């Protein structure tokens, strides 16, 4: 074999070895990412359950104040006509980035379906991300009290801060003012934590409801997976819920 042929063969072998090493490195990196994502998901689920256990011990109890329209001390807040053929139970945390993405992507479609009488939404505000979650859930109850359920819901998600900077009462009062809640009643309700007991009760109810993360969506009682947050996926799920009766 000529020196030239030997050199070319060595080059091919070196490139093959390099490609093999790169593939193995990529596979190891992918495996590490997968393990990390799984670990994060497990920790989040454990944290959510832990919060529910604590909330069960320190919840507002049966005498907790609940916003108008909420039918029980741990019930959700309705939005839309209760004669709608499909009921969406929506479990969210106002400080949850995934919930913000869900709302920004699907909010307009949900509103259209509610206004068309095809859907009623029942909001369940959870509070496991940080202390701002509790404040936002309470302020949400204060907005419901004054008939601005959906308006405040949208405005809070639009103004969601970084997780390291939880909602403050002052910020929530400003958000309320942006949708017309610029009155003493709303301010006092937020600062007094009027619906803090209700927020704690909702958190305590999540385990029995089968909720292990946010956002979690049920249509007519059936858990629905909407991983892509695409409007058509939601519309298809609503139609399927109608067909199921």
- Which tokens sit at 39? 């670990």
* Residues 184-208, mean pLDDT to the nearest whole number: 97
CB-CB neighbours of 121 under 10 Å: 23
DSSP conformational letter for 95: T
Write down the domain spans for the chain.
Answer: 77-244
DSSP H stretches of helix in 119-230: 131-145, 149-158, 169-178, 184-192, 196-205
Per the document, the length of the chain is 245
CB-CB neighbours of 214 under 10 Å: 26
Q: Is 59 helix (H, G, I), strand (E, B) or coil?
A: coil
Q: Which pLDDT score, from 0 to 100, does residue 46 have? A: 39
Q: Which pLDDT score, from 0 to 100, does residue 110 have? A: 98
pLDDT at 180 over 70: yes
Task: Output the CA torsion 222→90→216→160 (10° steps).
Answer: 170
* Residues 193-202, mean pLDDT to the nearest whole number: 97
What pTM does this model have? 0.76
Q: Which homologous superfamily does the CATH classification assign to the domain defined by 77-244?
A: Glutaredoxin (3.40.30.10)
Q: Is 46 exposed, middle or buried (0-12, 13-18, 19+ CB in 10 A)?
A: exposed
* Structure confidence by residue, pLDDT tens digits, 49-82: 444 434 333 457 889 999 999 999 999 999 999 9
Q: Average model confidence (pLDDT) for the chain?
A: 85
What helix, strand, coil percent values describe the chain, rounded to 5? 60, 10, 30
β-bridge partners, 2: none
Contact 90, 124 (CB under 8 A): yes
Contact 172, 134 (CB under 8 A): no
* Structure confidence by residue, pLDDT tens digits, 2-55: 555 556 666 666 666 676 666 666 556 545 543 433 333 433 443 444 444 343
DSSP conformational letter for 72: S
Q: Which pLDDT score, from 0 to 100, does residue 26 have? A: 55
* Residues 140-162, mean pLDDT to the nearest whole number: 96
DSSP H stretches of helix in 59-160: 97-115, 131-145, 149-158
Contact 64, 201 (CB under 8 A): yes
């Amino acid at each position: 074999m000529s020196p030239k042929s030997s050199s070319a063969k060595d080059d091919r072998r070196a490139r093959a070895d390099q490609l093999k090493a790169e593939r193995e490195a990529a596979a190891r990196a992918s495996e590490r990412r997968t393990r990390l994502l799984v670990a994060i998901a497990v920790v989040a689920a454990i944290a959510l359950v832990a919060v529910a256990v604590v909330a069960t011990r320190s919840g507002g109890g049966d005498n907790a104040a609940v916003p108008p329209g909420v039918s029980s001390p741990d019930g959700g807040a309705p939005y839309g006509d209760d004669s709608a053929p499909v009921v969406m139970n929506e479990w969210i945390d106002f400080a949850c980035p995934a919930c913000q993405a869900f709302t920004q992507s699907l909010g307009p479609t949900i509103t259209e379906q509610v206004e068309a009488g095809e859907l009623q939404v029942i909001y369940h505000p959870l509070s496991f991300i940080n202390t701002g979650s509790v404040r936002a859930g309470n302020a949400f109850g204060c907005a419901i009290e004054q008939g601005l359920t959906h308006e405040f819901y949208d405005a809070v998600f639009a103004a969601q801060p970084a997780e390291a900077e939880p909602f403050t009462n002052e910020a929530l009062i400003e958000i309320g003012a942006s949708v017309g809640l610029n009155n003493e009643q709303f301010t006092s309700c937020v600062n007094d934590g009027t619906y803090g007991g209700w927020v704690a009760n909702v958190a305590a109810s999540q385990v029995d409801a089968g909720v292990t993360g946010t956002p979690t969506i049920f249509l007519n009682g059936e858990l629905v997976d909407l991983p892509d947050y695409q409007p058509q996926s939601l519309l298809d799920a609503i139609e399927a819920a109608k067909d199921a009766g």
